[in-house]
Chains A and B, each alone.
Chain A
Amino acid sequence: MSLISVSGLRYAYPGAAVAALDGVELEIEPGEFVLVAGGSGSGKSTLLRAISGLVPHFHGGTFAGHVRVAGDDTREHGPGQLARHVGTLFQDPESQIVMGTVRAELAFALENRGLPRAEVARTVEETALALALDGLLERPTAELSGGELQRVALGASVVGRPAVVCLDEPTSQLDPVAGDELIALLRRLNEEQDLTVVLAEHRLERCLPAADRVLALGHGRVSFDGEPAQFLRWALREAPELSTPGARLLHGLGLEPQTAVKAARASLRAAGVLAAAGESRAAQDAPAAEARKAGAEGGGGRARRGDLLATFSRPAAGKPSHRAEQPALALEGVWHELRDGPAILRGASLRLLAGERVALMGRNGAGKSTLLRHAAGLMEPTRGRLRAAGRVALMLQNPGDYLVHDSVAAEAPRGALERFGLSELAARHPRELSGGERQRLALAIVLGEGAGGAPPPAVVCLDEPTRGMDRAAKQGLAELLCGLDAAVLVATHDTEFAAAFAGRVALMADGAVIADAPAAELLRGGIYFSTETARILDGLGGVLVAEQALELLRGSEVLL
């Protein structure tokens, strides 16, 4: 018998004109690792909430069909009863922690079931060990980092040994390291404890290698259900916005798409497109020198390849202005030391020229948001200097914080709405907008075009603008940023997004900028802070995105 059985599921939220789920049929077997893919508004979250019983018991609305979990029909069993079978993890870790310490948080679900004290204590210890939370057990939840909170929330979801755990974009607020750790942890739980995992995510390239099966949703329907490799073939054909950079790269070269970086490399090597491991690494170390050498030799395929390598290695730093060397923004040795607390910035230095587009990367807590706040004048440095050539516009992490009026038209001037493609939504309530639309509206607000005589910004700073956005929305945002005249500084965990818009990347750690280099250089060779394309090509030529790589590889007559 299937663990989860969904038949004829149609569901609409209260007051919604369109159904969020429209005729979903599926069966999930015990022990499967299922990745749920789809754009924003495709019904991913709603499907997960239907499995956990929140739909319809918590949200209300119109519900038709049946969802059965371990034999229990969700029509007859609410989320509390289903919690015995289903663990649920949402996007925002802060809203999922209800107790004061990690130990109490883990014990909460077990105590709700009325388990004996000794069993609660034993299970909490075991879960903490399994999830490497044992060192955090006595820590107050208020002091945990985002990654730690999400791990604790995962622990609280699985502590009761549910048969299935449903996760709704659990990595969207985590840095690449914490995100990868969480996915690896899920895979381990799946393999060792036979835990069924249903994971909804936008960053498919990070999750596909762990998945056994992919469900693609579109307009509330299952548009694909099959193995990850089949999914990539289908996505390339039917839904390119769901395809991964690696799949586009291999497909562009006429090869079968692969879900994992290792398999993709092997495929490229087998096709003679990529050299053996040692050779390709040697090649990545000196692309520019090779390009120069090729140029000196003149002509031939080798020369052409060298030119391309040089092209992609060159800092594509947007449209830097050559109006002298006056920076649009300059931070020189900026410190921010809290009274009776730690130093959040430790001598951070960064310069942006007009028209430059820079991605600010680093782990959670590295100081990225604080640096942006200093740039915009929301915080004052305790030491160091900061200069800006004009107004610094800052868009903070949550675009919803800017949306305080009853209509989109009241939020920003008409001209700004037109420029950001929002004029058709002018009459809508801002809270009805999708994530991508909200992001664009918030950007229109902070840029302040035509707002009370505010001058155009010299610098535009954005803090984690792609959280929860699908690929199409990210692409739209990247294009929008590339069209701005101002210098752009974006704090992001999203390497693919950084590669799409930034010419330069500044990497922060422990309050300081520890690396500042062209994107092609900084994002090409890492494990975490690297795009999938760069990882597949092992940093070859500083190529970061699939389309660049295809141009490079198709153009070279003599391949590595």
Chain B
Amino acid sequence: MSYRRRASPLHAARAAAAVCWCTALALATILAGNPLVLASLGAGVLLAGALAGVWRALRQALLLAAVMALTICVINALVTRQGLTVIWRFGDLPLLGQINVTLEATVYGALLGMRAATLLLLGALYSACVDPDAVLALFGRFSFRSALSASIATRMLPLLARDSRRLADAQRTRPGAAVGRVALLRASTAGVLDRALDVAATLEVRGYALAGARRRSGAGPLSRHDLAFSASAVVVLTCSGLGAVLGWAPFSAYPQLRMAAGLRVAALSLLLVLAALAPFADRRGVSP
């Protein structure tokens, strides 16, 4: 997944506003305890991806997110011994002892999985919509070198993945017995070090050593999209915070499932989704 400037309000917003919006959605996802609210947030992220024109990137992440959510759900159901409603008895298993799968553990596992999946999708949305160079400039004000290291490490990942594929292809074309894994690991490590040296040399000749002299650049005027996503972040964060503190959407899994599914929960879910997606309604000045 890599960033590419597209004609969307989220791409048009400055990095600071986009980062705040993504962070607000991530915090709302972490705070949301009710499966309905969480499901709404997940759907909101997917819709945001579609409105930002990065549906393809999110679709790829969705598969991974689904596998991850299912894995978390199954593991939680198998290892948690809480809950009163037994839905499956495995009996005594060697090493693991008696395994009873309860409805409560399964639902709570699904909730955990859904939360992890939503966060993963949000990460994918961030990668596809927020300019890493702008983020570097944003965080570079505080620690340029750390931000640059993080930025280069992110950029190097696909490059190193390509190098690894190349090495693997070379070994596939090698006749005779397969090369040992240790030798391959050593060669792969040497390749990574070579790449790192090359990049380090490039940084040197581009004056990275002088980076301490960087000036703090002016931020420029706020665009309508900067304002919209900042406002959206504030609303999302406030609503989810209030919802958590005031218990607008209570949910408890153990010992028995107790979940509110009334008007208040629906209103909170709808409010969060609308607040998150509202900035996408204004498409003026979104072209790169």
Report which A residues bind B (CB closer than 8 A). 52-54, 57-58, 78-81, 83-84, 86-88, 90, 92, 94-101, 103-104, 108-109, 111-117, 120, 138, 140, 142-143, 156-157, 160, 340, 373, 376, 378, 391, 393-398, 400-405, 431, 445-446, 448, 451-454
Q: What are the interface flags for B250-288 relative to A under an 8 Å C-beta threshold, 1 for contact and 0 otherwise?
A: 000000000000000000000000000000000000001
Establish whether residues A140 and B2, one from each chain, have CB atoms under 8 Å apart when the complex forms: yes
With beta carbons under 8 angstroms apart, the residue of A98, A340, A394, A448 that contacts B152 is: A98
Known contacts A100-B155, A448-B174; is-contact A95 B198 (Cβ 8 Å): yes
Contact partners of B209 in chain A: CB under 8 A: 78-81
CA distance A92 to B162 in the complex (A): 14
Report which B residues bind A (CB closer than 8 A). 2-5, 56, 131-133, 136, 148, 151-152, 155, 158-159, 166-167, 169-177, 179, 183-184, 186-187, 190-191, 195, 198-211, 213-215, 217-218, 288
Contact partners of A454 in chain B: CB under 8 A: 175-176
CA distance A453 to B169 in the complex (A): 21
Distance (Å) between the CB of A411 and the closest chain B CB? 10
Contact partners of A81 in chain B: CB under 8 A: 207, 209-210
Contact partners of A80 in chain B: CB under 8 A: 204, 207-210
Contact partners of B217 in chain A: CB under 8 A: 111, 117, 120
Establish whether residues A393 and B187, one from each chain, have CB atoms under 8 Å apart when the complex forms: no
Establish whether residues B205 and A52, one from each chain, have CB atoms under 8 Å apart when the complex forms: yes
CA distance A396 to B170 in the complex (A): 7
Establish whether residues A109 and B56, one from each chain, have CB atoms under 8 Å apart when the complex forms: no
Interface centre among A84, A97, A400, A403 (most CB of B within 10 A): A400
Establish whether residues A83 and B205, one from each chain, have CB atoms under 8 Å apart when the complex forms: yes
Establish whether residues B198 and A90, one from each chain, have CB atoms under 8 Å apart when the complex forms: yes
Establish whether residues B173 and A394, one from each chain, have CB atoms under 8 Å apart when the complex forms: yes
Distance (Å) between the CB of B151 and the closest chain A CB? 7
Contact partners of A52 in chain B: CB under 8 A: 205
Distance (Å) between the CB of A475 and the closest chain B CB? 25
Establish whether residues A113 and B175, one from each chain, have CB atoms under 8 Å apart when the complex forms: no
Contact partners of B151 in chain A: CB under 8 A: 98-100
CA distance A445 to B173 in the complex (A): 9
Distance (Å) between the CB of B185 and the closest chain A CB? 9
CA distance A86 to B207 in the complex (A): 10
Establish whether residues B159 and A404, one from each chain, have CB atoms under 8 Å apart when the complex forms: no
User: Which single residue of chain B is at the shortest CB-CB distance from A394?
Assistant: B173
Contact partners of A403 in chain B: CB under 8 A: 187
Interface centre among B155, B198, B199, B205 (most CB of A within 10 A): B205
CA distance A32 to B208 in the complex (A): 28
Establish whether residues A98 and B184, one from each chain, have CB atoms under 8 Å apart when the complex forms: no
CA distance A87 to B184 in the complex (A): 36
Contact partners of A97 in chain B: CB under 8 A: 155
CA distance A163 to B2 in the complex (A): 35
Known contacts A92-B198, A404-B186; is-contact A112 B211 (Cβ 8 Å): yes
Establish whether residues A54 and B201, one from each chain, have CB atoms under 8 Å apart when the complex forms: yes
Establish whether residues A104 and B133, one from each chain, have CB atoms under 8 Å apart when the complex forms: yes
With beta carbons under 8 angstroms apart, the residue of B176, B183, B208 that contacts A405 is: B183
Distance (Å) between the CB of B133 and the closest chain A CB? 4
Establish whether residues A446 and B183, one from each chain, have CB atoms under 8 Å apart when the complex forms: no
User: Which single residue of chain B is at the shortest CB-CB distance from A80?
Assistant: B209
Contact partners of B175 in chain A: CB under 8 A: 391, 393, 446, 448, 451-452, 454
Contact partners of B170 in chain A: CB under 8 A: 396, 398, 401-402
Contact partners of B174 in chain A: CB under 8 A: 402, 445-446, 448
Establish whether residues B176 and A448, one from each chain, have CB atoms under 8 Å apart when the complex forms: yes
Of the A-B pairs whose beta carbons lie under 8 Å apart in the complex, a sample of 6, sorted by A's number, is A80-B210, A97-B155, A100-B132, A112-B207, A393-B175, A401-B166
User: Which single residue of chain A is at the shortest CB-CB distance from B60?
Assistant: A340
Contact partners of B191 in chain A: CB under 8 A: 400-401
CA distance A166 to B133 in the complex (A): 27
CA distance A516 to B288 in the complex (A): 43
CA distance A115 to B203 in the complex (A): 17
Known contacts A98-B155, A404-B179; is-contact A113 B210 (Cβ 8 Å): yes
Q: 4 tightest CB-CB pairs across the interface, nearest first?
A: A80-B209, A452-B176, A448-B175, A451-B176
Establish whether residues B179 and A396, one from each chain, have CB atoms under 8 Å apart when the complex forms: no
CA distance A454 to B176 in the complex (A): 6
CA distance A398 to B171 in the complex (A): 12
Distance (Å) between the CB of B137 and the closest chain A CB? 8
CA distance A156 to B173 in the complex (A): 37
Contact partners of A397 in chain B: CB under 8 A: 166
Contact partners of A138 in chain B: CB under 8 A: 5, 288
Contact partners of A78 in chain B: CB under 8 A: 204, 209
Establish whether residues A113 and B213, one from each chain, have CB atoms under 8 Å apart when the complex forms: yes
Distance (Å) between the CB of B209 and the closest chain A CB? 3
Known contacts A98-B155, A402-B170, A404-B187; is-contact A109 B207 (Cβ 8 Å): yes
Establish whether residues B133 and A83, one from each chain, have CB atoms under 8 Å apart when the complex forms: no
Known contacts A86-B205, A88-B205, A117-B218; is-contact A143 B183 (Cβ 8 Å): no
Establish whether residues B159 and A99, one from each chain, have CB atoms under 8 Å apart when the complex forms: no
Contact partners of B202 in chain A: CB under 8 A: 90, 95-96, 98
Establish whether residues A452 and B177, one from each chain, have CB atoms under 8 Å apart when the complex forms: yes
Distance (Å) between the CB of B216 and the closest chain A CB? 9
CA distance A142 to B156 in the complex (A): 10
Distance (Å) between the CB of B55 and the closest chain A CB? 11
Establish whether residues A156 and B159, one from each chain, have CB atoms under 8 Å apart when the complex forms: no
Establish whether residues A112 and B205, one from each chain, have CB atoms under 8 Å apart when the complex forms: no
Known contacts A402-B174, A451-B175; is-contact A98 B206 (Cβ 8 Å): yes
Beyond known contacts A113-B213, A117-B215, A393-B173: 13 more, CB 8 A cutoff: A54-B201, A79-B205, A112-B210, A114-B215, A120-B217, A140-B2, A140-B5, A142-B158, A143-B4, A373-B169, A396-B166, A404-B171, A405-B179
Contact partners of A117 in chain B: CB under 8 A: 215, 217-218
Establish whether residues A112 and B2, one from each chain, have CB atoms under 8 Å apart when the complex forms: no
Contact partners of B177 in chain A: CB under 8 A: 451-452
Distance (Å) between the CB of A302 and the closest chain B CB? 51
CA distance A78 to B195 in the complex (A): 21
With beta carbons under 8 angstroms apart, the residue of A95, A104, A404 that contacts B199 is: A95
Contact partners of B214 in chain A: CB under 8 A: 111-112, 114
Contact partners of A401 in chain B: CB under 8 A: 166-167, 169-170, 187, 191
Interface centre among B170, B206, B207, B213 (most CB of A within 10 A): B206
CA distance A55 to B133 in the complex (A): 30
CA distance A398 to B191 in the complex (A): 11
User: Which single residue of chain A is at the shortest CB-CB distance from B203?
Assistant: A98
Contact partners of B152 in chain A: CB under 8 A: 98
Contact partners of A79 in chain B: CB under 8 A: 204-205, 209
With beta carbons under 8 angstroms apart, the residue of B4, B166, B201, B213 that contacts A112 is: B213
User: Which single residue of chain B is at the shortest CB-CB distance from A450?
Assistant: B176
Establish whether residues A101 and B131, one from each chain, have CB atoms under 8 Å apart when the complex forms: yes
CA distance A98 to B200 in the complex (A): 10
User: Which single residue of chain B is at the shortest CB-CB distance from A397?
Assistant: B166
Contact partners of B208 in chain A: CB under 8 A: 80, 112
User: Which single residue of chain A is at the shortest CB-CB distance from B202?
Assistant: A96
CA distance A113 to B203 in the complex (A): 13
With beta carbons under 8 angstroms apart, the residue of A86, A98, A116, A396 that contacts B173 is: A396
Establish whether residues B203 and A95, one from each chain, have CB atoms under 8 Å apart when the complex forms: no
User: Which single residue of chain B is at the shortest CB-CB distance from A412?
Assistant: B176
CA distance A86 to B131 in the complex (A): 30
CA distance A98 to B132 in the complex (A): 11
Contact partners of B206 in chain A: CB under 8 A: 83, 98, 108-109, 112, 156
CA distance A405 to B173 in the complex (A): 16
Establish whether residues A376 and B204, one from each chain, have CB atoms under 8 Å apart when the complex forms: no
User: Which single residue of chain A is at the shortest CB-CB distance from B217?
Assistant: A117
Establish whether residues A446 and B210, one from each chain, have CB atoms under 8 Å apart when the complex forms: no
